[in-house]
Amino acid sequence: MTIAIIPVRGGSKRIPRKNVKEFCGHPLMAWSVVAARWSKLIDHVVVSTDDDEMEEVARKYGADEIIRRPDWPDADEAAGNRPLLHAVNELAGKYGTSWTMVTMFATSPQRLPGDLDGGIQHMRKNGLQNVVGMSRKRETFIYEDKELYAQSVIRDKYQQHFELTSGLVNVITAGYYRWLQTIVTDDSDKSLNDGFRNTTKQEQFGYVETRPWQIPETDTQEEFELCELIMEHYVLKGRGIEIYEEYYNERTE
C-alpha cells in the first residue's frame, strides 16, 4: 500500500492562509491533493491539518482521509517533521507500518504528472528505502554576513569541490544537488523516525533528478507569484488542473 501524506496548517505567517489562497485558479493545497489522487501508484491520499477550511478543501479535491492534528502553540518554531510523525503514528494504528509513504508539501506545487510515480518506480525497481527529488546545482555562491556588506567566501562556478576549515565555513558541494520536498519512503514508521533522528550524519538515499524550475517555493508573495508563472508555463501549458486526471487515464503502453 502506498500512502501520500500532505501536511497543511492554518497559521502561516508570511502569507496568511496561504494553503487556501488561489493559485492558478484553485487553492494552493489542492494541487498536491490532485497530483496524489491521480497518481497511478498512490493508493490513499491523506491530508493532515489543524484547520476546518483546509479540511473542506481537502475533501472537495478528493483526499481519502483527513487527520486532524493539535493546534500546537509553538507551531511557528516547530519543525515540519512533527505533523508527519503525528500522521504516521495515526496511520500505523490502522494500517501497520509496512507501507510506502509519499510526503508532499503544498508549498511546492509545480509537479508534472508522473513525477510522483517516477519516484515510486525508481524506489521499487532498485530496492531503495528512501527516494528524494534532487535538482542539479550548476553554481555555488556562499557569502558571509558582514553587517553592512557581504563578503564572498566560496565561489564555485565550475562545479569544483571546496572545503574551508578555518572555522568561517565548512561546506562541501557534494553531488551538486539541492533537495526538493517530495520524499518517498518505504517501511514508513521506522524510516521516518530513523531519518529524522540525526540530521548531522551523512545520509545515503536514492534520488530522482528534478528540474531547476521546480526549486522555488511559495514562501513569500513574490515567490508565490513566481511559482504561479512557472506552473502555468512549464506544467499546465494552458490545460488546467485536469492534466493530472488525463495522465491517470492515459493507456499504458
CA 26, chain centre distance (Å): 19
Q: At 161, is the pLDDT very low, low, confident or very high (cuts 50, 70, 90)?
A: very low
Task: Among 67-81, 112-126, 167-181, name the most confident range.
Answer: 112-126
Dihedral sign of CA atoms 192, 198, 199, 203 in order: negative
Superfamily of domain 2-134+178-249, CATH level 4: Spore Coat Polysaccharide Biosynthesis Protein SpsA; Chain A (3.90.550.10)
The domain ranges of the chain are 2-134+178-249, 138-172
Residue 177 contacts by C-beta under 8 Å, 6 or more apart in sequence?
134, 135, 136, 137, 207, 209
Cα–Cα nearest to 215, from 137, 139, 142, 117: 137
Q: Cβ–Cβ contacts within 10 Å for residue 86, how many?
A: 18
pLDDT digits (tens, 9 = 90+) for 101-125: 999 999 999 999 999 999 999 988 9
Whole-model pTM: value is: 0.79
Q: Coil, helix or strand for 184?
A: strand
Rounded distance between C-alpha atoms, residue 32 and residue 37, angstroms:
8
pLDDT digits (tens, 9 = 90+) for 196-247: 444 444 456 788 888 889 989 999 999 999 999 999 999 999 999 999 999 9
**What is the mean pLDDT of the segment spanning 22-48?**
97
Rounded distance between C-alpha atoms, residue 217 and residue 141, angstroms:
20
Specify the higher pLDDT residue, 67 or 96.
Answer: 67
Burial label, 223 (beta-carbon count in 10 A; 0-12, 13-18, 19+): middle
- Start-to-end CA distance of the chain, whole Å, equals 24
